[in-house]
Chains A and B, each alone.
Chain A
Amino acid sequence: MKYEAPDTVEAAVGLLSSAQGTARVLAGGTDLLVQSRAGMVEPDLVVDIKRIAGMDAITEEDGGFRIGAAVSGAQLGEHDGVKAAWPGVVEGVELIGSTQVQGRATMIGNLCNGSPAADSVPAMIAAGATVHVVGPDGSRDVAVEEVVTGPGKLSLSKGELIASVFLPKPEAHSSDAYLRFIPRTEMDIAVVGAGVALTLDDSGTVSAARVALGAVAPTALLVDACAQAIVGTTLDDAALENLAAAASAACNPIDDKRGTIKYRTKVAGVLARRAAVIAKARAGETS
């Protein structure tokens, strides 16, 4: 294994593009180092992106926030602006691992690990987040839901890396929430996760919504039917029932030691409706 720590994005892309064998980007390393220790991945080249200027920065952009690929969960959790704008995204990121893991783990690493159970991903999808991909043929912005194509599989080409994620400016009277189910109080892998972002109009009716589910399919899902179930409603009981039914209907989970198909399908509906209620309460408190 070769270790490189370039100080520009261009140099990082160059290294990744010309790499022979398996190349991996290193940000927080909380997945990569565990997997390479376990022999699940044997990188020939590791490109540490933390020496690249700006990778550890959170900057305001068009009323939203651009978060660099090396920003840790701990750093994100200390940022009052992002917490106020997208509390659901921050709570999703903060659910990843222990205090020590939070000191290193990044949301883009969580995304690029490609796990269907990644806690930050449904919240980012619900928020309408996009990632900035840089590669040998230039750069492009990609919706978060289009990055992961299957467990551990990404839509990135050879030489491409994700430099940042952009959380857009929330509309007025908007907020979000993320909930996950695990069998203990923390530090576990989601059995189901649900992220909801919604906007209220002046009468308290939901005027826009995005609902995403994790750990119930090969990738995190953006479920339009869930959004349709609550847009135009005040989240009355009937709307919440419809939301839960749409969430359960979208599930295509696996049976494993963490949860059965039947259980995950049921819990997806429960979490979607609970997250929607929290997001609505938060949206009502915003100006």
Chain B
Amino acid sequence: MSRTHVTTTVNGDTVEFLCDPEETLLDALRDHLGLTGSKEGCASGDCGACTVKLDGRLVCSCLVLAAESVDRKVETIEGMADGDDLHPLQQKFLEMGALQCGICTPGFLVAAKDLLERNPEPSETQVRYCLAGNLCRCTGYDKIIRAVMETAEDMRGA
């Protein structure tokens, strides 16, 4: 079995790793690059805990082979804050307690950031539909949705 040598961009940095053909991008991020913010929940694309952006598209990194990521642009939760300055969504999730156990939080944040970049003024229905691919087993949806709505409002005013 031959390993694939992958050179790609993660959060703006060029990275290299060797991977087996069966390994997913999620495996590579966590096990080869030490980026453990993306979580494995279901490993079947249902829960969204492993959400990252790949070439500008929101994807489940558990449904991407690591070998596919050669020369791509990967954005993970680790790239969301600017140094010590949290992204407004991260700050709002903290302030509003929009998390319980926290396992789903990185996926929600990456997905919500993408949503607000595409649609700065989403309706609540749009937020709920756009985040339908992110599951919270603690069922803390209400605070999550409200945090996204409030962040959108703050960012529009800023």
Contacts and interface: CB of A to CB of B under 8 A. Distances in A.
Nearest to B52: A100
Contacts of A36: 22
Nearest to B61: A100
A232 interface: no
B5 interface: no
Given A2-B2, A3-B21, A187-B133, A100 B65 contact: no
Chain A contact-residue range equals 20 to 34
Given A97-B133, A104-B57, A187-B133, A30 B68 contact: no
B94 interface: no
Interface string B11-27: 00000000001101000
A256 B9 CA distance: 45
Contact of A72 (B44, B51, B57, B111): B57
A72 to B, nearest CB: 7
B64 interface: yes
A185 B59 CA distance: 21
A87 to B, nearest CB: 18
26 contacts: A3-B4, A3-B65, A3-B67, A5-B68, A33-B24, A33-B62, A34-B63, A36-B22, A37-B43, A46-B21, A48-B68, A50-B68, A97-B45, A98-B45, A98-B46, A98-B132, A99-B58, A99-B115, A99-B130, A99-B131, A99-B132, A100-B133, A101-B60, A103-B58, A103-B59, A186-B132
B44 A37 contact: yes
B21 A100 contact: no
Interface in B96-141: 111, 114-115, 129-134
A203 to B, nearest CB: 39
A34 B43 CA distance: 8
Interface residues of B, number: 33
A189 to B, nearest CB: 12
A74 interface: yes
Contacts of A186: 129, 132
Given A5-B67, A99-B111, A100-B45, 9 more contacts: A3-B65, A26-B68, A33-B45, A34-B44, A36-B22, A46-B65, A99-B58, A100-B111, A104-B64
B155 interface: no
B45 A101 contact: yes
B45 A34 contact: yes
